[in-house]
Amino acid sequence: DIVMTQSPDSLAVSLGERATINCKSSQSVFYSFNNKNYLAWYQQKPGQSPKLLIYWASIRESGVPDRFSGSGSGTDFTLTISSLQAEDVAVYYCQQHYDTPLTFGGGTKVEIK
């Protein structure tokens, strides 16, 4: 199984400041035949179900604010919130869909400092 490791487990950021979440996979999730990284990011607000933010490692889902961005390739990925807003308080998960079983990172809780 591909193990997804997120860091940190939690972080507190001031409003308007940058938040950076890391995700590392135990093996590469990059497919050279289509030049894509099989990595997605989700946001889960308290009491809600997960919501897709980013797919193919760096493509924002429709309707997601452009302060959210994804980067990275191979085994190392980053989700960045460029200017944290109050509504961004949530747990963020990465997920690999390179191979079965599909696996998620353990989550990173983002709070306001």
Partner 1 sequence: EVQLVESGGGLVQPGGSLRLSCTASGFTFSSYDMHWVRQVTGKGLEWVSAIGTFADTYYPDSVKGRFTISRENAKNSLYLQMNSLRAGDTAVYYCARIARGGSYTRGYFDLWGRGTLVTVSS
What is the sign of the dihedral through the CA atoms of 46, 96, 54 and 20?
Answer: positive
The answer to whether 43 contacts partner 1 (rule: CB under 8 A) is: no
In the complex with partner 1, which residue's Cβ is closer, 3 or 15? 3
Contacts of 34 (CB under 8 A, 6+ apart): none
Asked if 28 and 36 touch (Cβ cutoff 8 Å), the reply is no
Q: Identify which range of 11-19, 20-28, 48-56, 82-90 contacts partner 1 by CB under 8 A.
A: 48-56
Q: Identify which range of 11-19, 63-71, 73-81, 95-103 contacts partner 1 by CB under 8 A.
A: 95-103
The answer to whether 107 contacts partner 1 (rule: CB under 8 A) is: yes
Binding partner 1 (rule: CB under 8 A), the pick from 2, 30, 55, 77 is: 55
Query: What is the smallest separation between the CB atom of 37 and partner 1, expressed in angstroms?
Result: 11
The answer to whether 73 contacts partner 1 (rule: CB under 8 A) is: no
Phi-psi region of 74 (alpha: psi -120 to 50; beta: other; left: phi over 0): left
What is the sign of the dihedral through the CA atoms of 51, 55, 57 and 59?
Answer: negative
The answer to whether 38 contacts partner 1 (rule: CB under 8 A) is: yes
